[in-house]
Structure 1
Amino acid sequence: MKKMFSILLSTLLLLSPTTAFANSAQTYFQGITPTDVMVSGEEYPLLVHQSPIIVQHENLTFDIQEFPLEHYAEEADYLAYSGKVTAEYTFHNPADYDVRAKLAFPFGQTPDYGYSFNPDTDKRVYAPDAEKYDVLVDGKPIERRVRHTLFYRGEEFKLEKDLPRLMDSYLEDDFWNFDLPVTKYTWEISGIDAEFDAARLGFWWNGDASERKLLLMDQSGGNNSEEKLAVTRWVENGDEIELYVFGKPLEEELEWFSENGAEDTPFDYTLTPVSTETATYEDFVFADWEDNSTVLRHDWYNAVTQNLKNCEWDFGILNSFEYSGNLPADDLLRWYEYEIFIPAGGTIVNTVTAPIYPDANVRYEPPIYTYNYLLSPAKTWADFYAMSIVVRTPYYMTESSGDFSFQNGKDGYYLDYHGLPDGELTFTLSESAKPKAPGDFSVIGPVIMMASGVLIGVIAVKKLMKK
């Protein structure tokens, strides 16, 4: 029996400030060719064969009976929010071999109002909205688990970036590893004259990034000069300056400097060592992991490590105002992971439902809520026969994009297509048919958004068994 593996993508993308849902897309294939020869690409093993899967029909249903609140006092009220989107795919396998598929369905980050604070620990507690809906095959719930990958709020989903982050093992790196030494240096600053109301402290660095990397907490800026890099932070008397050194500990004192932010002039100060603490990188990464036990251990490690790698500057300086901390739960994309089986010549219906947290422009009266759906990625399937879109809502659809002319129905709006429509879908809902717009956007400023980036999609790793 010869085997080959493939990867398919179906994305529904919700991003701030422009909410976007994206349709199914086949992307690339990995595994063994029918001749048992591995064909390697620069980043992934690639196959020259296309997946046989056909989308006979997609039912896309937005069920929006309410808009989310800007704040929920109780977790139960947040979990009771009913806004959801359902993507129902009728997949057909016309080949003469079975297809066993491992799917990953990214369904978004936790919205700003999806957590509360534990008064005892002063840490965030995230509501379990990931458990609200099942993944179905032919109407029956199947086993699934929740996965997490690093995904910054507001960034654009890109297959070549986000798919490799979904790994079943720990991220391997030439520098970052479990046993990497981590040294935390703490100083206290004092003696700053009261007249300096914009005091800034920093140090110059031009070390070897392969030996150590430095993370100055609460960093405010940095610049290059004479083949060195300066990193700075605002300070007041009594502030504790924390510096993490990953790799070899410091071998000599740092080259500190001070400046008044308003005039760029130095000031007198005293920097007193408070403590030097040592640990391993494993200790550092998992310091807060127990409070987020819904995240798999290797998913957590990979997200923290990728986060640090992303914010590295020259000479091994890690930019702390781009670093989201050792608790990147706000910057975690959540995925449903599950398996399906399609026999040779067979057809299945795969249904995935997820909550949706739309962006809101609250400067309108009443506010408007925008939903986008990217259809073009679905062109990468072997074929796409038909699509139906339903927006079940009591609200008014105030506008929609391009040629998407929705028809009014008894419980909302609908349209049908043969094949895959051209262009992307955008529609806006409001409690009023004609919400009043703010007078001058250039004066008022940017749109106010209620929800941060959410990504929804399907990525499948298929095992094709040749008969």
Structure 2
Amino acid sequence: MKKRVDSVFKNATIATLVSAVIFVAVFCFFALLPTSVCEANSALRYYKGRNSFGVILTTKDSPVVVEKEDLTFDIQFDEHYLNGLQIGSVSAKYTFKNTSDAEAKTNVVFPIDFLSVINYQNNDDFSKYGVKVNDETVTSNLRYSYKVQGSTFSVEDDLEYLKDEIITDEFYTPETVVHKYVYACTAGDSFCKMYFGGIDARKVVCDNVYTSYWQNLDGAESIGFWVNKNEYIFYSIGEEIDFAARAEFFSDYERTSRVNGSFKLLSKQDITFGDLAYQYYDESYGVSKTDWYNAVYASLKEVYPQIAQGYCFNVYKNLYCWFEYDMMFAPQETLVNEVVAPLYPDINEMYSPSVYVFNYLVSPASTWKSFANLNVTINTNYYLIDASVGFEQIEGGYAWHSDTLPSNELQFSLCKSQYPKSSGSKAGKIILNIILLTVLEPLCIVIVGLVIVIVVIKKKEKNARYGESRNKSKRTRKSKNKNVNKADSDSNNGEQCGNIFGEENKNENEPKNTDLSNDKEENGANDDTSK
């Protein structure tokens, strides 16, 4: 038995080593796989481009309808300019009609992108746009509204704060008095908690970034931040607040142990909310003061009910740019309005060749009274490999028609090859190989070894139970045979004793010719024993 167990464990060791060798071979195979050609020339795996839009009507209850839209994408790829951000342009030509018997003036806006993104990509970007009405160039204005970067486009939300006049309410006005406090902190390297019980959160602005915010059981707000003997600035809008009296200092974030410290007032200045709103304003941005102020207002409304921070007033990165222009319609007049804009596709270099994804938002057209007859044409020298609608191939590109406004946004993908191949990131493969080598390989070896050991133990237990069962069966049969032999012997001895004492035989009335050879054969040994 010991030799058998040793043999099984030897086989288990060999199997584990074989598994390790196979795993290393597979690892080397994946590690040596070639990456795509595009990886060698670019570290960028996916570039996020810019959505394109239709024009949006801001005039309420306008009688103007869209009779037709011809949407034409002109996308001719230049092999020497495939790494450029702008690829092609789009022309949206609308046929509008005033359905009323009166003159109609409409205000129209055309979404572009975030100002910071435009300036980062190309400072001359606005010159690539064009607006015409009946083939004549019209004057358009650049307008800006507040929009959080990364948020989904929404006509209703993104136009809410795009106004021609400064937005005011019962709390925020440009003339509202604001108190500016500058403090020096005496506590060194500690965590400060400020409690604002009984104060409207809109009245508090922490110029420094706080790291913690929570509501207390009484519903009041509290903020927390780490201090280290620096200067700290706070603003109170419309009411004086003693910030120093509301500060507590602790040795850690969990506030388990208090430490000594305080805020000492260095200066106090009274300004207006308008001064506060314009503290980061820069005329070189090309943004009107009205649009900037309204963007600050929107930023504060966005963060409420939490306490505002200083960055809420620096809205540059969240300024969204629009083209704005007016159109005047005579009664029952039809006008053709064309807007030309550059295209900035998403570039997916995880395919070879790269895939270019174009997004055009048709939902802004829902602002018009009615919409009909959308004709989409893609003029391109590349293959259409994917689209949100059913394009058909035509000479020089692809086309699609819809009698109504589509329910989903328009998206399509172009590629130099009709069947691009997916190619994983080289860095991703290296990380995967490291994980395979350092984690999965030892884990697999351990699991294989454990499985083999468990099988061996189970087999030993089964063999032990089987041997014990056989021994028990043998003992049972031997004991049974002994009991049967003893009973037969006692029976024969009893018959002999009965004859000796003259007892009658129970079978003496049976016929004499009864064949008892079987009994004799069966009990012959006992008869011999009794004799």
TM over 0.5: yes
Aligned match of 1:179: 175
Indicate conservation of the 8 Å contact 2:385/2:415, yes or no.
Answer: yes
Instruction: State the shift of 1:103 in Å.
Output: 1.8
Indicate conservation of the 8 Å contact 1:372/1:424, yes or no.
Answer: yes
Measure, in 1, the Cα distance between the counterparts of 2:230 and 2:392: 59
Measure, in 2, the Cα distance between the counterparts of 1:278 and 1:105: 40
1:37-76 equivalent positions in 2, closer than 5 A: 51-65=62-76
Structure 1 letter corresponding to 2:206: L
Measure, in 2, the Cα distance between the counterparts of 1:366 and 1:206: 61
Alignment partner of 1:372 out of 359, 370, 377: 359
Structure 2 letter corresponding to 1:257: E
Aligned match of 2:321: 334
1:96-107 equivalent positions in 2, closer than 5 A: 96-107=101-112
Indicate conservation of the 8 Å contact 2:56/2:364, yes or no.
Answer: yes
Structure 2 letter corresponding to 1:171: I
Greater Rg by CA: 2
Alignment partner of 1:141 out of 137, 140, 152: 137
Query: What is the count of residue pairs matched by the alignment?
Result: 377
- 3-state secondary structure, aligned to 1:114: helix
Alignment partner of 1:243 out of 217, 234, 239: 234
- 3-state secondary structure, aligned to 2:117: coil
Percent of matched pairs sharing the same residue: 28
- 3-state secondary structure, aligned to 2:298: helix
Instruction: State the shift of 1:136 in Å.
Output: 0.6
Instruction: State the shift of 1:232 in Å.
Output: 1.7
Measure, in 2, the Cα distance between the counterparts of 1:86 and 1:415: 15
Q: Which has the higher strand share?
A: 1
1:220 paired with 2:211, answer: yes
Indicate conservation of the 8 Å contact 2:87/2:345, yes or no.
Answer: no
Aligned match of 1:416: 401
- 3-state secondary structure, aligned to 2:206: strand
1:389 paired with 2:376, answer: yes
Runs (5+) with no aligned partner, structure 2: 1-46, 432-531
Indicate conservation of the 8 Å contact 2:54/2:110, yes or no.
Answer: no
Superposed CA offset, 1:31-84 (max 9, x none): xxxxxxxxxxxxxxxxxxxx44332221112334569xxxx9xxxx98xx4643
The change in CA–CA distance for 1:432 and 1:342 in structure 2 (over 3 A counts) is same
- 3-state secondary structure, aligned to 2:377: strand
Indicate conservation of the 8 Å contact 1:373/1:424, yes or no.
Answer: yes
Structure 1 letter corresponding to 2:160: P
Aligned match of 2:332: 345
Measure, in 1, the Cα distance between the counterparts of 2:98 and 2:87: 34
Superposed CA offset, 1:134-171 (max 9, x none): 31111111112111111111223334333331211110
Instruction: State the shift of 1:201 in Å.
Output: 2.6
Runs (5+) with no aligned partner, structure 1: 1-15, 31-50, 117-125, 194-198, 445-467
Indicate conservation of the 8 Å contact 2:53/2:111, yes or no.
Answer: no
1:426 paired with 2:411, answer: yes
Aligned match of 2:387: 400
1:93 paired with 2:98, answer: yes
* Length-normalised TM-score, structure 1: 0.68
The change in CA–CA distance for 1:142 and 1:376 in structure 2 (over 3 A counts) is closer
Aligned match of 2:292: 300
- 3-state secondary structure, aligned to 2:422: coil
Instruction: State the shift of 1:355 in Å.
Output: 3.3
The change in CA–CA distance for 1:408 and 1:215 in structure 2 (over 3 A counts) is farther
- 3-state secondary structure, aligned to 2:108: strand
Instruction: State the shift of 1:379 in Å.
Output: 5.7
Instruction: State the shift of 1:397 in Å.
Output: 3.2
Superposed CA offset, 1:178-218 (max 9, x none): 2222233333446546xxxxx54331112332883333421
Instruction: State the shift of 1:350 in Å.
Output: 0.4
Measure, in 1, the Cα distance between the counterparts of 2:120 and 2:209: 24
Structure 2 letter corresponding to 1:114: N
Structure 1 letter corresponding to 2:178: V
Aligned match of 2:499: none
* Length-normalised TM-score, structure 2: 0.61
Indicate conservation of the 8 Å contact 1:192/1:268, yes or no.
Answer: no
Aligned match of 2:149: 153
Instruction: State the shift of 1:19 in Å.
Output: 6.6
Indicate conservation of the 8 Å contact 1:407/1:415, yes or no.
Answer: no
Structure 2 letter corresponding to 1:95: S
- 3-state secondary structure, aligned to 1:164: coil
- 3-state secondary structure, aligned to 2:160: helix
Indicate conservation of the 8 Å contact 1:62/1:86, yes or no.
Answer: yes
The change in CA–CA distance for 1:144 and 1:26 in structure 2 (over 3 A counts) is closer
Aligned match of 2:89: 84
- 3-state secondary structure, aligned to 1:384: coil
Instruction: State the shift of 1:390 in Å.
Output: 2.4
Indicate conservation of the 8 Å contact 1:211/1:247, yes or no.
Answer: no
Q: Which has the higher helix share?
A: 2
